[in-house]
Structure 1
Amino acid sequence: LDEKQRPAAEKDAWSNPVAMPKWASVPAAVRTPLTLAPEAERENPPVPTAAVPVTPPAIADTRLDNGLQLVVARTGEVPLATMALVIKGGGATDPKGRAGLSDMTASIATRGTATRSQKQIAAEMEALGASLSTSAGADGTIISVTAPVATLEAAGRILVDIVRNASFPAEEFDRERGQSLDKLSVALKDPGTLSALALRRVIYGDAPYGAVTTPETLRAMTRDELVAQRDRWWRPDNAALIVTGGVDREQAAAMGNRLFSGWQSIGPAAIAPALRAGTAQAPRLIVIDMPGAGQAAVATAVRAVDRNDPAYPDLLVANAVLGSGSNGRLFQEIRTKRALSYGANSALAARADDGMLIAASQTKNESAPEVVAIFLAEFDKLAREPLDAETVGQRKAYLSGAVSRQAETSGGFAIILAGLVQQGLPSAEAARLVERIAAVTPEAASAAAAANTPSARASVVVVGDAKLFIDKLRAAHPQVEVIGIDSLDLNRPQLRK
């Protein structure tokens, strides 16, 4: 149902609209049950084989004739390649009161140019066997095409047309904004989504990284502001072209010069905010009261090192111990041992300025205080207790495998390179990621955790039906702030209207 069609004042219903059917039962077992063989008779698992050597792709970092940075990495012999244009700045450059402008600009850029309609763009890309994608994050915007090597330049011509000549049709802008408002109205009723948005405000306050897309910022946007955003930030002296896959450096450079030779920077260069993360905010514990919520979402975060910090790989490994995958401590404590949730995890956000280490889970309302206690205890444990070599070794293998798998495809390696470019790191760092992870010692990971994860530095946001847990939570944390859903304002760092 379209949210616009919801009758006025109608409340959300969390129960199933129809009664559950009666399912057929499974027939009773008739065979002899299987049993485990005695320990001495069981087969031993195969021993690990020698590690397969992995040669990272050679990365060439040069400039095209118009000054545009060119990063090329031949990732294999498969005749498929990715061409990605990275525009630095991203959401951190959104004007005050216009959070989400960079994302909206990237989304609508593909809806038509001065010479191509949206349907023509789609038809041409399909005929070339290519795909087109756009995304905008905190530090940059990425517009990319992936295509067979034989048609990559033709797909690149469409990419260039979009970057230089996107027309941002008014009807497409109105449609996209309307759809975004509908999606957001639904998302803001989800405890998990709302807790993450509110926690970003708590960690970064009124700084650029703290800005959150809201119905108010979407409604305030105009089509002309999208054009201005493109004209100010989408320029060769604020961008990089990344080419990965079955293309060598000479091919990529020649292709790049043919495609981008007419693209020039006009006027003074745009200057991104110097302090995207702002100053550190005082820790807070906040409950957003959502009466009738079927579950409570719990999110905990600490401000962490930026991507360029030498301790970043160390903290990445420490975070993997805390909450990466089903072997992370949070998953083991919250799901495996206590069955309080289907899952719990943590992530370290890579940023050009101070990042954020965030842990999240959803649970029944009544057990929210217990999950808060586990989060804070595990943050402290990570900060206080030295990590052992076996645990660190296992987590390094997990991370190295994830990076290596991502780097196997042209698109995956392009994303790695794009992240480094946005965050101001040398592109050559992409070839050293696995090496840097492998070099992390238990002592270094422990030191990074001790500096970043003490619970005294952590902020917590709980979104749920407060009447079911607030007394227990307040008994353990008298400083808790309660904000009713009708009083919540994500446009303000205080989160109150």
Structure 2
Amino acid sequence: MRRRDLMRSVMQGGLGFGLAGAALSGCAGPALSSASGVPRAGPPRGSSLAVPGLPEPGPMAPVHVPDVVRLRLGGGAPELIVATQDELPLVSVSMRVRCGSAADPPGRAGCAMLLSQMLARGAMRQGQPVDGATLARQAEALGGSIATGVHDSGIWVDMTVMTPRLPEALALLVDLVRRPLLGAQELQQVRAQAIDGLGLRLQDPALLATLVARRSAWGRSLHGLVTTPESLQAVRREDLAAMHRRWFRPDRLAIVLAGDIDPARARALMRPLLEGWRAGEPATYEMPSAAPQPVLPATLLIDLPWAAQSSVVVSAPFVALDAPDRRVAQMAAAVVGGGYSARLNQAVRVRRGLSYGADGRIEQQRAGGLFFAETRVEHRHAAEAVLLMREQMLSPGREPPDEAELQARRAALVGSFARRLDTTEGLATQLGELWAQGVALDEPARFAGELAGVDGLQVLEFVRRRWPAAALRTVVVGRLEGAGESLQGLDAQSLRLDATTLALDSPMLRR
């Protein structure tokens, strides 16, 4: 079946803005007073934000949205999701389990992450134990490679192969999901690598700022849990085995196939591989979710003496995945930080020259979400960057976007999403994310009309209602001495902490 060229515009924010968070490009914050010494960053009221010298956005290009078929292979069996794109003899497979970081046991943040990596480090195949190196060679012999990962709502195992090798690839991935060895020696190796990687993240001001911003904004919510070396050390093989037994049930698994495959062929291939794997009683538990519950002051200053630059993150509340006003929220985020010509990047990079770029990112859960604006600047410009970012975050609540600005943001987001949807790997990933989050798989087809109905007045009202100045939260990580006294003037209630003594596993960031 050929994929259908539907004249539908679909933006990444409607889909990928979720557990993984989607990068935008730009951001904003409260109006600057004349005493700040910084000129207004926003445009004159009523003016267009079009960038001089750049062409006006043209008509929306068509986005290919293939038909998606959902199949159940019997009661208590995994769900089969098939999207046919038969232009090339390729098929991407994504096996998704509704078990993610939100299911980590108390005091063992990172358990789901370690489990996801352990899936490819050994499995039983045809009654024999097979180590990770051999599994990798078997995948390479099929012309592909195994990819694993985790987010709050799901663990996945992915692989892309030529169509003739699909049966063997499916057999391999099913064994990884159903029969992982979870060896103690392999766990030690995976844990050591994870701790080393985490240590590097904690030395980087941008990565540390992101961790602190998430922790402080989500607060006591389970989505704010941060993996630490201590929590990784606490994870035992028994924890991984217990998580696998509890969550890796066939009725919590989706097998997504995208590419040169039709539903009938997919069903025929999967039936023998899943023979005898059925859930008994239906699961009485679901992945937990909770709204942000911040407890710390709104402004955090983290001293990292060896940092070459200061990293600034400004966050604001966002809506849940299924919120009625999610399209308006996504457009508001795009106006603030959705591209080179979006308000944040124009203010911080183009007009002030403080940074090489300023980006926006959305993180959505079933119970709530957050919008993050991020940039890096010289230490002495940290306070100025904070003021500009706050200014731009709030600017749509004073100066709503006109149709030209909305059209530009739509075009940028649609283009980004279309590039993902136009590959078998991107399509399988997108459908897998939607399924894991519990979002309807017809979201791509419905999104265009909903997004087209968003106007500037709705964006203005959303920002005024959801992003009052008091709701913004700020994190600055860098050499605070180099920033001078200006940072202290941002917020009289700001909290200053030393990066070397942070306790990221605590919502208070210290013991």
Asked if residue 293 in structure 1 is aligned to residue 302 in structure 2, the reply is no
> Residue 56 of structure 1: SS of its match in structure 2?
coil
CA distance in 1, matches of 2:160, 2:230: 35
Q: Which one of the candidate residues 197, 202, 209 is aligned to 1:183?
A: 197
Pairs within 5 Å for 1:252-331? 252-266=266-280, 269=283, 271-272=285-286, 274-277=288-291, 279=293, 281=295, 284-331=298-345
What displacement does 1:143 show?
1.1
CA distance in 1, matches of 2:170, 2:449: 33
What are structure 1's unaligned runs of at least 5 residues? 1-43
CA distance in 1, matches of 2:264, 2:100: 30
Residue matched to 1:7: none
Q: Which one of the candidate residues 213, 226, 245 is aligned to 1:231?
A: 245
CA distance in 2, matches of 1:342, 1:467: 23
What displacement does 1:450 show?
2.9
Residue matched to 1:88: 98
CA distance in 2, matches of 1:409, 1:220: 39
CA distance in 1, matches of 2:280, 2:258: 29
Asked if residue 64 in structure 1 is aligned to residue 73 in structure 2, the reply is yes
Q: Which one of the candidate residues 346, 351, 367 is aligned to 2:365?
A: 351
Q: Which one of the candidate residues 457, 461, 477 is aligned to 1:443?
A: 457
Distance 1:48 1:226, change over 3 A: closer
Using CA pairs under 8 Å that are at least 6 residues apart, name the structure with larger relative contact order, 1 or 2.
Answer: 2
Residue identity in the other structure for 1:452: R
Residue identity in the other structure for 2:157: I
Partners of 1:61 and 1:70 within 8 A in 2: yes
CA distance in 1, matches of 2:454, 2:430: 20
What displacement does 1:48 show?
8.1
For the pair shown, the structure with the greater C-alpha radius of gyration is 1
Aligned sequence identity (%)? 31
> Residue 494 of structure 1: SS of its match in structure 2?
coil
CA distance in 1, matches of 2:59, 2:335: 24
Residue matched to 2:41: none
CA distance in 2, matches of 1:50, 1:493: 47
Distance 1:242 1:386, change over 3 A: same
Residue identity in the other structure for 1:146: T
What does the per-residue CA deviation read over 1:262-317, in whole Å, with 9 as the maximum and x for residues that have no partner? 32225662623544335465761000111232211111111210111122222222
Residue matched to 2:212: 198
> Residue 458 of structure 2: SS of its match in structure 1?
helix
CA distance in 1, matches of 2:358, 2:399: 21
Q: CA RMSD in A?
A: 2.2
What displacement does 1:197 show?
0.7
Residue matched to 1:465: 479
Residue identity in the other structure for 1:365: H
Query: Which stretch of structure 1 is more off in the superposition, 149-158 or 437-446?
Result: 437-446
Distance 1:452 1:253, change over 3 A: farther
Residue identity in the other structure for 1:86: R
Residue identity in the other structure for 1:368: A
CA distance in 1, matches of 2:458, 2:199: 44
> Residue 92 of structure 2: SS of its match in structure 1?
strand
Asked if residue 335 in structure 1 is aligned to residue 345 in structure 2, the reply is no
Alignment size in residue pairs:
454
What does the per-residue CA deviation read over 1:23-61, in whole Å, with 9 as the maximum and x for residues that have no partner? xxxxxxxxxxxxxxxxxxxxx999988655445211112
Residue matched to 1:425: 439
> Residue 479 of structure 1: SS of its match in structure 2?
coil
Distance 1:433 1:75, change over 3 A: farther
CA distance in 2, matches of 1:56, 1:379: 33
Residue identity in the other structure for 1:256: M
What displacement does 1:466 show?
1.5
TM-score, structure 1 normalization: 0.86
What are structure 2's unaligned runs of at least 5 residues? 1-52
Distance 1:184 1:55, change over 3 A: closer
Q: Which one of the candidate residues 484, 487, 490 is aligned to 1:476?
A: 490
Residue matched to 1:34: none
TM-score, structure 2 normalization: 0.84
What displacement does 1:478 show?
1.0
CA distance in 1, matches of 2:445, 2:91: 18
